[in-house]
Amino acid sequence: MDYIFEGIREAFVLLMSGDEEVYSAVYATLKASSLAILIALLIGFPLGFFLGYADFPGKRFIRSVVDTLLALPTVLVGLWVYAFISSRGPLGNLNLLFTLKGVIVGEVVLALPIIMALSAQAVEELDLSVRDTLLTLGATGKRLVLDILWEARYGILMAAVTAYGRIISEVGSASMLGGNIKWRTRTITTAMAFETNKGQFAMGIALGLILLLIAFLVNGTLAFAKRRRQTR
């Protein structure tokens, strides 16, 4: 047990001293996950809103597919994105493989089903009378959409937070697409796995503490959204 306590002590030393290797991985993680969630929101929210609001042929099938993709394994995402962005793939000329941009692509693919499914659910769970009330008040077109989104805002926030928590803690696709290159594409999770395998237990603990802090912040936001929704 002594090595565990010693590892924790050394981890705090690394954190307090501003170790460049530790914070390089933190920076790469926050940069990639923040850009990925922004892109995923811009794409996923409109699709999720349409999926939850509109009626069209094949809707139930598409919804089933999106719900199934919620459990999409990260290594499978890494495999398929790798196939597309590798030198032999259709997007190979973009030189995305083993770059932070490649990691972002994989995280966007992971986040999209979550945002689409949960935002669609948020819209579907609205009281049907809300739409009728808005129409009665003269809301049409863009105004109607914005008003519905506002009524579903807590559910949509939960979708965003859940997706962010998923991508910031994943390791499979980040390792395959980024290559775990020090100072460039090494994220918190890939660095934790790599350094622990090397016997650098303190480094793994230091990064784990930071990831745990981020997870607390993300889950705290989610819990706050749930409370606000329940007290509406």
Set out the domains of the chain in order of their start, with CATH numbers.
23-230 (1.10.3720.10)
Mean pLDDT, residues 110-122 taken together = 93
Cα(107)–Cα(103) distance, integer angstroms: 6
CA atoms within a 13 Å half-sphere pointing along the CA-CB vector of 159? 30
Cα(163)–Cα(217) distance, integer angstroms: 14
Q: Enter the tokens of residue 145.
A: 């959409």
Q: What is the mean pLDDT of the chain?
A: 86
DSSP, residue by residue, 179-216: TT-TTTT--HHHHHHHHHHTT-HHHHHHHHHHHHHHHH
pTM: 0.88
pLDDT digits (tens, 9 = 90+) for 179-193: 999 899 999 999 998
4 pLDDT higher than 80: no
DSSP, residue by residue, 95-160: --TTSHHHHHHHHHHHHHHHHHHHHHHHHHTS-HHHHHHHHHTT--HHHHHHHHHHHTHHHHHHHH
